[in-house]
Amino acid sequence: MTRPPAERGETVRVSIAAALRSGALSAREISEQVRIAEREVGDHLAHLEKSLRAQSERLVIEPAACLTCGFVFEARLRHGRPSRCPECKGERLSVPRFRIE
């Protein structure tokens, strides 16, 4: 069942920024709060990251980690969740979390 889109007085990215200023959130939590599809969150985060630089703020990414071997995806450039660990090939991964500082 799909939800109806939220009525907005502000843009999606402004809504995401406001949510991220209150604490670290995963892409799923962002999509639930802002009422957009989870697959759209990564694109908005990439654009928001560039916009924040002009405001002397930054998007902080708490990287995903493998729950099996402990590998941390520190060098990952994409904002989405990785599908598998490059070390052990495990699929039990924590989700990346995002916040604004």
**Model confidence pLDDT, tens digit, residues 33-48:** 999 999 999 999 999 9
For residue 48, give Cα distances in angstroms to 3, 27, 43, 59, 71.
24, 14, 9, 8, 27
Query: Which residues in the chain belong to E strands, given as ranges?
Result: 25-26, 59-62, 97-100
Phi, psi of 30 (to 5 degrees): -60, -45
**Model confidence pLDDT, tens digit, residues 14-73:** 999 999 999 999 999 999 999 999 999 999 999 999 999 888 899 999 999 999 999 999
